[in-house]
Structures are given as structure tokens and as C-alpha cells.
Structure 1
Amino acid sequence: MRAHLTARLSVAGACDPAHDLLHLERVVASAKRICALEGADPAVVVPAAWLHDYVVVAKDDPRRNQASRLAAVAASHYLAGIGYPNRCSGHILEAIAHAIEAHSFSANIAPQTLEAKVVQDADRLDGIGAIGIARCFACSGTMNRPFYSAFDPFCASREPDDGLFTIDHFYRKLFKTAATMQTAAGRAEAERRVEVMRGYLSELGAELGE
């Protein structure tokens, strides 16, 4: 599956470092850890984690909230084409499709299975912590957004607007991620990663003289 995704990303000309093969590998690794801790079915979790971004739509594209649905359909066709799973179990493919569809923040689809909760948590973990900081700046760079407001970098006296400034996204969304986690294992790791991000902002504030 890794080889297939490498080829697919190459053909698509994907150059978004926030949604590249390394992102998929990190999500799969997190999904496997949470899956083991929560007792979920890896036959659903692992392929769903690999294929959760099978169709990628840019964050500023009006079709953004449809991306996970498109990915679920395309991934289902791919898995059926390679004969996965090798045991006759249509509900496995349905469960994988649901996990892919429900992983997206933009789609706003509640995960109905433990496996879908695991995949959603694994993907959201990649948006926070040290790697989350890197991804946040990478995404903002593609949209030419300034790092922070020169007058109020840390939203002390204004509402955060992540359409204008990169750091505002920490306050608008990323710091709230831990509260949205679906599993105990995912929540514990999310809380740890949020503290990493708060430490980063503390250091940034010191460097900016705030």
C-alpha cells in the first residue's frame, strides 16, 4: 500500500508537505498505537489510516468539506480492486469507508465506530505538537499568511483570525483539539502535545519581547 500511495502522490504532483507520504506514515503509526491501546480492529484501522487522504482538496478550496467523502469512495474502489480484505466481509470495507469519511474536521461527521474514532484521533494528533507547528506554518506559507500580528501576536486583546495570521490558528483551533479527541489514549497524547505548543509560544513570546 505504501508503494501504491508513493506512486499516486507522484502522479498527482502533490507537493503539500502537510499531506504528503510522511504525514500518512505518522498517522498510521499513531493509529496503530491507539488501536492497540483501545482494542480496535487493525483490519479496519490500518488501511483507513493509510487511505484517509486518498483524495486531497486544498484548505481554501470550496469543496474542502467533501474531501473525506471523495476519499472514502475512491479508497473503497481501490481496496475492492486489490481484493481487500481477502476474507469475504463486506462490512470491513464499509467500516473502512466510514472511518475515512469521519476523520475530517471539515466534514463534521461523527465517528460511529471505535475504529473511526481511532483514525480521527490519529489524524488530529498530527495537527498538534511539534509536527503540528511545522504543518501549521507549512500550510500558512502556501497561502502567504504572515506568522503573527505585529500589534498583538498572541491574541491578548482581540479575537483570533487564522485567515489573517498563522499563530491565530493555535488559538482558533489547535489548542481545542484535545477536547475533541474520541479515545482516552488519543486524548492523553493530545494534551501532552498541546503543552508542547504552549511551550513554543512561550519561547516565541520571549524572542519577540512580549
Structure 2
Amino acid sequence: MYKKRVSINKRYQLMEESISKEQIRMIQVNIDQKLDCHSTSFMLTSPTDDGEKSIISSKLAISFAEQGKKVLLVDANLRNPSIHNWFQLTNQSGLTNVIVKEEDIQHHIKETLFPGLFVLPTGPNPLNLSDLWVTSKIKGMVRKVQLEYDVVIFEAPPFLNVSDSQILANQCDGVILVVKANKTKKADVLKTKDYLEKTSNSILGVIYQTG
């Protein structure tokens, strides 16, 4: 357990180098101000590039947990799962078991070393991804976790690359966009923004990474 905690601390230091604690706090305050409800669910995505979304998602989840909230961090990025690595968890089961096989979600949610923070990894990749991204199933899962947790954060794949994030966004209270300086194209940002606005999805904020 000691070795695992040391490894977690090293990973947390890497998160600190990527995005400061003050930046995370400002994002958290902005979310709290815009979403005044008992349970909050939101999704982190980027227009076309994964970037460092998983780091930001993890730090946000830790920040909310440190405020005494019960937090669930869901890795919905099946094409590039990474949340489990940050918390040194296995990815043998998770979201796909819940959606595709309709198994009890509590059997696959994993506790972290951060009090109040829980993680649902992606789980094994299904043979057919269309079996996972069924609107009615996603909607049921989101509503269920909203009843159990104060904050639910979904780490999602790039918005314009696949339809996964578009389906998930419609079930969340809001979306945070991660934009990378000198890498993310302005046209892609505007295209993502336009789509979200047309589908009445609330953009909670944009994280602009310069490093």
C-alpha cells in the first residue's frame, strides 16, 4: 500500500505540472456557479485531439472530492482509456460491463486513495462499439449515478472524431472543452461550439492549454 501511495503521489505531481491547482479551482468555482443543483454531471472533451484531458479530468475530480463531495470519475474514452492508469487501477471491467452486459454498476466502480473519489474505468472494448452508445442505456446509467454521487465527471473522446461524445453530451448538465495552443484549429473549436449550442448543450467553460 505504501508503494502504491508513493506512485500515486508521483502521478499527482505530473498533474500539477500540467495544470495548476489554481486553474483547477477557478474551473471548479465556475462550474459551481453555473450548475446550482443537488447533483452535477459534466463531460470533458476536446474538438479533435485527446491532449491532456485525462489529467484535467482527474485533477477536477480530486478537487471536488477535497471539497467534501462524493465524486465519480467515469472513463468514457474507449478508444484511448487512461484514467485507470492515473489512479493505478485495473481496467478489467467497467463502463462496458454496465452498458453492454447490463451488470450492476456498483460491482465495477473502484475506490481510490482520495477520500470521496471513485472511478469507473472503461472496461474491455466491446466487439461492436454501437452496442455501447445506445442513447437509452447511456441515459439510464447517467441518471442512476446522479442519484448516488454529488459530482459525476465523464472523460470523453474528441468531439468531432466520433459520435460517442455527442451522444454523451446530451445526457450531461454541461460540457468543458479542452483546447491546445498551436495544435487545436480555430475552425474545429467553432464547429464544436456550434454543434453544442444547436443541441442546447451548455458549455461550462474552455480550458486553454499553452504548454
TM-score higher than 0.5: no
More strand by share: 2
Q: Rg larger in 1 or in 2?
A: 1
TM-score (ref. length: structure 2): 0.33
The structure showing larger relative contact order (alpha-carbon pairs under 8 Å, at least 6 residues apart) is: 2
TM-score (ref. length: structure 1): 0.33
